[in-house]
A and B are shown apart, each in its own frame.
Chain A
Amino acid sequence: MTLTADPATVEQSTAERTHRVSRRRMRLRPAELVSGIVLLFLLVAAVAPQLLTFYDPLAIQPSDAFRAPSLLHWFGTDESGRDVYTRVIYGARSSLLIGVFATIIGLGLALILGAIAGLGSRPVDFAVNRLLEVLFAFPGLLLALLFITIFGVGVVTSTIAVGLATAPGYARIIRTQIISTRRSGYVEAATILGRSRRAVFGRNILPNVAWPLLALATLGIGQAIVWASALSFLGLGAVPPAAEWGAMLSAGRTYMTNAWWLTFFPGIFVVLSAAAATVLGHSIQRRNREL
């Protein structure tokens, strides 16, 4: 399992402004178009799943168990005869919610820590840095594991757990970002001009940090979905009978030799959504760099 989005890419987006700007690179690329469509589809699935399927995700039909994909059941049926396509569609909501909220929690914590470190005095920066150090030395999964064993299994706890586990990574990126922005010429100029610290932060630093943050968030959502699925694999994710991709993946895994569709389709959706979010994140980064 991989942790948060890559810190270095984001750092570079503002630190090294590339000089190879061209009109062509501002156009919508095919990959971006595809990701856009995928994300739009997932969004519809999350908001109004009943538009995309007729079945009930929880309705069992034991006599129809383990049907292979067909026109009737596009993605086949599972061990209880439930329609896998329907469950994947309905699963989009919980998976996306986990992804979005875990990222918000992670980034929120990170923003607080990063801002304290990046804007505070040297001792404050030092202290926050040590804290991040400690959190980094903890394997992320353990942090999530401990949190879930303390507060119980469920979607809410696993969302918070993923958020907590990803926060240190984000915090460090944000801190670097703030420091490098603070040292840039225009911020120093603003400070010399006598603007208050708060004004400098609000008008000069925050806007510069916000864009990379958005990119980071988009990259993070995909990773949070992958993370949450790993927790489900360890039996620490969504509560049955909820349709959640990670839970479907791990429940179907034992049937992989006989009923490949049980894991293939939820797996594809995890990969698709994470990949689409990454492409979107990269595209935001690129645009930010070229603006």
Chain B
Amino acid sequence: MTAVVALPSARRPLTAWRWVATRLAGAVFVLWAVATLTFFSIRLIPGDPAEAILGGPGSRATPEALAQVREQYGFNQPLFVQYLNEIGRLARGDFGTSYALKAPVTTVILEGAGNTLILAAVSLAVAWLIAIGLAVWATRGGRVSRAIATGLEIVSAAVPNFWLATIFILIFSIGLHWLPPVSAPGIPGLVLPVLTLAIPLAGFLGQVMRESLLNALDAPFTLSARARGESETGVTLKHALRHAALPGISLSGWAFGSLISGAVVVETVFARPGLGRSLLNAVLIRDIPVVIGVVMVVALVYIVVTLLTDLADRIADPRLRNP
């Protein structure tokens, strides 16, 4: 799998400095493009942003009040001028004020970002654990365990997460009284949302991992490790898994993005405050500054995660390192 922003190293070896510079330029470009795309697409949505400012749809605002708001926010200027103003503000790090919540977008994001990032990060980690566990079990066990593991992976990747969430609530909250059904402080409140996000993802990672784990177990380097007298478990854990992790690590950037999408659903069902829920609400009530702000933050996190996975790739597979 190729690095994401840098040119593939096979084509042209880069020095560390050029690598950093390319990365930085790429990141700025992506942020700019994401902001632009969001700005124009949300302005295509039918509905008056002035309405959103005056308490949202159905606010029964008077025409005078609407006119005043249009003037104040510059909605009567040409769209391109509004766009330039918006980009200018964003470039200065000013995300503006939420129409609906009447609070700075930065505050809205900071209140939600922590929750969502923790949720996504823990889910990713749990998904990895489940996937590795299944993959190892499947390769080490017999045909039956392999078949079961494959089945589990395929089925869990096919489960709609809002359905899974409801089933978990029925079983673990209503039936067994083990875990709180809605967001609560501390670890118990995190268990069900994390499992809801992690299980389908684990199915995916597991499928990817096992293919390469099987290949790796037959690869020359594992054969030579066996020849050196290392135990089978040692071979699996030390050599083969490291190799098998590669495609999975590369996938983590993508997986993180899919977790953010999943967070929209999970945060709604479990009533967790977070970016996903903010984003959904903001789109539905046309709270443009919040939409742009959240999208920018998600894009930024995506860039950082991809960077980290690229670094992890290089560490896991020495062949990718630059000469």
A12 and B215 contacting across the interface, CB-CB below 8 Å = yes
CA A11 – CA B151 in complex, angstroms? Answer: 22
Interface contact B247-A139, CB-CB below 8 Å: no
Known: A1-B161, A145-B283. A279 touches B34 (CB 8 A): no
- Residues A122-168 near B (CB distance < 8 A): 126, 130, 133-134, 136-142, 145-146, 149-150
| Residues from chain B with Cβ under 8 Å of A7 in the complex | 1, 247, 250-251, 254
With CB as the reference atom, state the residue of chain A lying closest to B175.
A257
**Residue B316, interface by CB 8 Å:** no
Chain B 180-209 interface mask (CB, 8 Å, partner A; 1/0): 000000000000000000001100100110
Shortest distance from the beta carbon of A124 to any chain B beta carbon, whole Å: 13
Does A39 belong to the interface (CB within 8 Å)? no
Report Cα–Cα, A31/B295, bound state, in Å: 41
Query: B236 at interface (Cβ–Cβ under 8 A)?
Result: no
Q: Is A119 in the interface zone, CB < 8 Å from B?
A: no
- A137 in contact with B298 (CB, 8 Å): yes
- Contacting residues, chain B, for A145 (C-beta < 8 A): 264, 279-280, 283
Q: Which of A12, A138, A169 has the most CB of B within 10 A?
A: A138
Given contacts A12-B211, A146-B42, contact A134 B283 (CB under 8 A): no
> What distance in Å separates the Cβ of A15 from its nearest Cβ neighbour in chain B?
10
Is there contact, CB below 8 Å, between B200 and A8?
no
* Interface residue tally for chain B (C-beta within 8 Å): 65
Q: From B260, which residue of chain A is reached at the shortest CB distance?
A: A139
> Is A263 an interface residue, CB under 8 A from the partner?
yes
B75 CB–A CB distance under 8 Å:
no
Once the chains are docked, how many angstroms separate the CA of A12 from the CA of B211? Answer: 9
Cross-chain contact B283 with A146 (CB below 8 angstroms): yes
A176 touches B37 (CB 8 A): no
Q: How many residues of A contact B (CB 8 A)?
A: 53
**Inside 8 A of B215's CB, which chain A residues have their CB?**
12, 16, 18
Question: Would B261 and A1 count as touching, CB distance under 8 A?
Answer: yes
| Cβ-defined partner of A249 (8 Å) among B160, B170, B268 | B160
Say which residue of B151, B251, B258 sits within 8 Å of A31 (CB atoms).
B151
Q: Is A271 an interface residue (CB 8 A)?
A: yes
Specify which chain B residues have a CB less than 8 angstroms from the CB of A270 in the assembled complex: 158-160, 163
Q: Which label, helix, strand, loop or mixed, suits the secondary structure of the A interface?
A: helix
Interface residues as binary, B261-285 with A (CB distance below 8 Å gives 1, 0 otherwise): 1101100100000000001100110
A1 touching B247 in the complex, CB below 8 Å, given contacts A31-B147, A263-B163: no
- Among A249, A257, A278, A282: residue with most chain B CB under 10 A: A278
* Nearest chain B CB to A276 CB, angstrom units: 9
Do B211 and A149 touch (CB < 8 A)? no
Could you mark each residue 231-254 of chain A with 1 if its beta carbon is under 8 Å from any beta carbon of chain B, else 0? Answer: 001100000000000100110010
Task: Report A-chain residues with C-beta under 8 Å of the C-beta of B262.
Answer: 1-2, 141
Tell me whether B45 and A1 are in contact (CB under 8 A): no
- A3 vs B205: C-alpha distance in the bound complex, in angstroms? 12
A-B contacts at CB below 8 angstroms, number: 179
Point out the residues of chain A lying under 8 angstroms from B2, CB to CB: 176
B24 at the interface (CB under 8 A from A): no
Closest Cβ of chain A to B153, distance in Å, is 9
Interface string of B125-166 (1 = CB under 8 A from A): 000000000000000000000010011001101111111001
Contact of A256 among B1, B170, B248, B302 (CB under 8 A): B170
Q: Is B33 an interface residue (CB 8 A)?
A: yes
Whole-angstrom distance from the CB of B13 to the nearest CB of chain A?
15
Contacts A134-B30, A138-B34; A9 near B208 (Cβ below 8 A): yes
Which interface residue of A2, A249, A267 has the most chain B CB atoms within 10 A? A2
Alpha-carbon distance A263/B160, docked complex (angstroms): 12
A137 contact set on B, CB distance < 8 A: 30, 34, 257, 298-299, 302-303
Q: Is B311 an interface residue (CB 8 A)?
A: no
Digitize A1-40: 1 where CB-to-B-CB distance is under 8 Å, 0 elsewhere. 1110011110110001011100000000001000000000
List 24 A-B pairs, Cβ < 8 Å. A2-B262, A6-B207, A7-B250, A7-B254, A9-B208, A12-B212, A12-B215, A130-B26, A134-B29, A136-B257, A138-B37, A139-B260, A139-B261, A142-B295, A226-B159, A233-B160, A234-B268, A234-B280, A249-B162, A253-B163, A267-B160, A270-B160, A270-B163, A274-B158
Additional A-B contacts beyond A2-B204, A7-B251, A133-B4 (18; CB < 8 A): A1-B262, A2-B258, A6-B207, A8-B247, A12-B212, A19-B218, A20-B218, A126-B7, A136-B4, A139-B260, A176-B1, A176-B2, A226-B159, A234-B265, A256-B166, A257-B174, A267-B163, A270-B159
Which residues of chain A have a CB within 8 Å of any CB of chain B? 1-3, 6-9, 11-12, 16, 18-20, 31, 126, 130, 133-134, 136-142, 145-146, 149-150, 169, 176, 222, 226, 229-230, 233-234, 246, 249-250, 253, 256-257, 263, 267, 270-272, 274-275, 278-279, 282
Q: In the A-B complex, list the 9 residue pairs whose CB atoms are closest, starting with the nearest.
A: A8-B247, A274-B158, A141-B261, A137-B299, A134-B33, A3-B258, A139-B260, A275-B158, A233-B162
